Structures are given as structure tokens and as C-alpha cells.
Homo-oligomer: A and B are copies of this chain.
């Protein structure tokens, strides 16, 4: 991906996040990128293809944040540490790439996503699934379908970022409380309640 392409993908992410892919005219992307509308077609055959490129770029960026410094926990205590690291990475991504997050949220079942995009989506969840599995093996994560737990967790995180956007950002204390709350959701229920 050369300089022009990078420029275009970045610009497209910005405008796609603010509106929608369908609601964003190509000339608007081009203007934001500082190129002519025709230029775009030198690199992608259609707006949809560009949207896929943007999607994959964002998902990969997300994945790379999530796996930063991660290693499979071998002892029960390491799971919480690994979770906290992953949470910190998540927060960093939300902080540094808010448009990427906003964009990704809205593409969940976008009909134009191609195979590569769907693969990127699956790949993004892998590290979290691994952590859940490890935690379950070590007895510190609730026994439930890992995919279900991932969906709860990421869903909660996304809910949080919506609040963050609405409120113009969260305090570190808020992020911390959210982290704790979600960890509580993941850990096994003790005798404290009779389901």
C-alpha cells in the first residue's frame, strides 16, 4: 500500500465512520483524502472494494493492538494479568483509533463484506478466545461457550465506547470500574448467589 492508498484508506475510514458506507459519496472520500475521485479507481475497482480494504485495515489494526505483549497464561494468577493487559490494549485502541472502532461496530453484518474481510473479523477474536479458553482450563473463567463470553465482553466494551463518545470520553476511573465489572462477569459464580 503506497502513500496515496494509505491516504485514501485513512480518509475513507474517517468519513465512513461518521456516516455510512452507503451514505458516503466517493467524491467526499476523495476530497477528504486530497485526491481526485478518479484516483480511487486506480487502486480499487469499486467503492465496495475500498470499503473492504478499510474494514480489513481496521480489523488488523485492532488485532495487532489486542495481541500486544500477550502470551498464553500458564498459571491461574496470570489469567487476570493477561486480561488486564488485553483490556489496556482495548482501551488504547479506543483512545487512539476511535473512528476505526466506530466504523467496525457498524459493519457487523454489512452485506458487501468479502471473504477476506470475514476472515479478518474471525482472526480478530482469536486472541480473546484463546485467553478465555486458558482461563477456563485454569478454573478462573466461568464455564460457558467461549464465543458467548467473547460476545458479552466485546459487546459490553462497545457499549462503553458508545457512552464514551456520547459523554466526550471517560475518566481512567470509569475505565477501571468497567474493567473490574467485566472481569466479574467472566469469573465463575461463587456461592454468593443461587442461580
User: What residues on B are CB-neighbors of A80 within 8 Å?
Assistant: 193
Interface size class of A (residues with CB under 8 A): 35 or more
A119 CB → nearest B CB, Å: 15
User: What residues on B are CB-neighbors of A186 within 8 Å?
Assistant: 181
User: What residues on B are CB-neighbors of A144 within 8 Å?
Assistant: 174, 177-178, 181
Tell me, yes or no, whether A2 is within 8 Å of chain B by CB: no
A64 CB → nearest B CB, Å: 22
User: What residues on B are CB-neighbors of A147 within 8 Å?
Assistant: 163, 167
Interface residues of A: mostly helix, strand, loop or mixed?
Answer: helix
Contact assessment for B148 and A160 in the assembled complex, using a CB-CB cutoff below 8 Å: yes
Mark A136-161 against chain B: 1 for CB-CB distance below 8 A, else 0: 00000010110111011111111110
CA distance A156 to B9 in the complex (A): 30
User: What residues on B are CB-neighbors of A183 within 8 Å?
Assistant: 193
Q: Residue of B at shortest CB range from A160?
A: B151
A109 CB → nearest B CB, Å: 7
User: What residues on B are CB-neighbors of A105 within 8 Å?
Assistant: 108
List the 5 shortest-distance A-B pairs measured between CB atoms, nearest first. Answer: A155-B159, A185-B185, A22-B22, A22-B23, A151-B163
